[in-house]
Amino acid sequence: MPGKASSAGGDWWRGCVIYQVYPRSYQDSTGDGSGDLAGITRRLAHVATLGVDAVWLSPFFKSPMADMGYDVSDYCDVDPMFGTLADFDALIAEAHRLGLKIIIDQVLSHTSDKHPWFVESRASRTNAKADWYVWAKPKPDGSAPNNWMSIFGGPAWEWDSTRQQYYMHNFLASQPDLNFHNPEVQAALLDTVRFWLDRGVDGFRLDTVNFYVHDIWLRDNPPLAKAVSGEIDEKNPYEYQDHLFDKTRPENLQFLKKFRVLLDSYGARASVGEVGDGERSLQTVAAYTSGGDKLEMCYTFDLLGPKFSADHVHKCIADFEAAVADGWVCWAFSNHDVIRHVTRWTRPDGDPEAMAKFSIALLACLRGSICIYQGEELGFGEAELAFEDLRDPYGIRFWPGFKGRDGCRTPMVWEAQAEQGGFTDGKPWLPISADHRALAVDRQQGVLGSVLAHYRDVLASRRQHPALVRGAIELLDVNDDLLAFLREEGAERLLCVFNFSDIAASWSVPERFVVLSSVDFPGAAGEVSQGRIEVPALGLFIGRLI
């Protein structure tokens, strides 16, 4: 059964493999052009054959869909476009039958402005939920309370004419931020988490987990030092501030402890937090996952950006290992918010398929849990879309300097020759990528050497090596194009060497290591001879040490 090696016991999450499904783009079962829960259930067998342990479902709750479901109007129901609670229960049952765990996306930092809580809160300054959101009076000149910015553009404050106050929104104006300084808000949110635990979910992905608590004094954020010196070059003005006061506040740790107590009361459950905190992200992950009393694991955007080098990956690992005591990280290269890594990292004259295969081998060897995003197991690159096809408000706002997130959210392609790629019988909500048709599941199924086969082989091999699933890591000093590290668990000691260059590279193994033999690992074409390891371009070597 897929995933059994890492899913046994209450700490099944430690070293697990998570597969992210973007529900609107996975499989449509009704012909309306949008994916749904019944469609996901139909395709779970595909997920199970990859050899993953868990499925992360992006939001499917009731929502006006201003931000594609990340603007929740009812935490305890399924939006009709995705189906019903009965459909969700059927999905859970089928996933568990296949040995898969289900992780759902909880968006706790903010709601939709159509949520009944906010409708009541904005009605007056004296109602029962008046303090459930972040409200503030204007400055004497009528301007916003401080200089906080919205990630989606402009100030993080919106004027409300009924209350004659501003409310805070880190994202769209239709996504007001909840006030976590109010104990009633925390209790109400934990009740929504309990609702899904009672339905059998195995874990939660916590959206923008470090955004929950704001500075109660509403102090201005200072500018980044490199912004003052003129060294910054960003398309979004949000990136010019040092976000000391609008997120990552120390009070957040207390809420995360409450969240953990609730999860632990249900047994073998887990949480993975999304941390967006600039250069402090890995330190924040360490704080949020240490001590065994907060989150089980977090992921950051450190490896979800454009940097692709041995030095960058080495630094990310080193920074986390230096900061963490007993915490845990979840590494990912792609998700629904970033340009797909095959596009980000493949050089103009490079081979996207080779990059896809190299990347999953690297991801599988890192210390931590790992997350893969739908379509990357087929080698999908970023889809090119016209402005008129965009649905993402972020992309529409910043076009053409930033094209938004729709290019990584286009539908899965199951059948190359089907009119809509086997995704829907109707008009898909985003266009089917022509480039993705050639990479359809039915084109790769059973084909030796395909990206799909490679993903299955890599994940299967990873499960055979305790050192790769849960082992310790020791980084080694090598030249700029090579990344080398040890993974060790019990009697198993593995030497992993990755060549990020487009030419072959070699490395003299330190005298303290004796390489017993190379390990039969997919894509590992490097060789060792007389104390030197030869690694082909965009290749890897894994050896067993004595």
For the annotated catalytic residues, the residue numbers are 207, 274
Alpha carbon separation from 440 to 373, 447, 469 (Å, rounded): 15, 12, 29
Count of C-beta atoms within a 10 Å radius of residue 204: 25
What's phi and psi for 288, nearest 5 deg? -80, -20
The DSSP annotation for 438-504 comes to TT-HHHHTT-TTSHHHHHHHHHHHHHT-HHHHT-EEEEE---TTEEEEEEEETTEEEEEEEE-SSS-
Q: What is the DSSP letter of 225?
A: H
Element counts in the chain: helices (H) and strands (E): 16, 21
d(CA 545, CA 523): 19
d(CA 478, CA 498): 11
Q: What is the DSSP letter of 407?
A: G
d(CA 191, CA 423): 35
Check if the beta carbon of residue 74 is closer than 8 Å to that of residue 24: no
Spatial CA neighbour of 538 closest among 510, 486, 509, 497? 497
What's phi and psi for 442, nearest 5 deg? -70, -20
Gyration radius of the chain's alpha carbons: 23
Classify strands 540-545 and 157-160 as parallel, antiparallel or unpaired. Answer: unpaired
Check if the beta carbon of residue 364 is closer than 8 Å to that of residue 496: no
Sheet of 527-529: strands edge to edge? 505-508, 532-535, 527-529
d(CA 72, CA 70): 6
Taken in order 445, 447, 451, 454, the sign of the CA dihedral is: positive
Count of C-beta atoms within a 10 Å radius of residue 234: 13
DSSP β-bridge partners for residue 475: 485
Q: What is the DSSP letter of 192?
A: H
What's phi and psi for 515, nearest 5 deg? -80, 110
SS3 content of the chain, % helix, strand, coil (to 5): 30, 20, 50
Query: What is the largest distance, in Å, between two alpha-carbon atoms of the chain?
Result: 79
Structural tokens at position 459? 């994940």
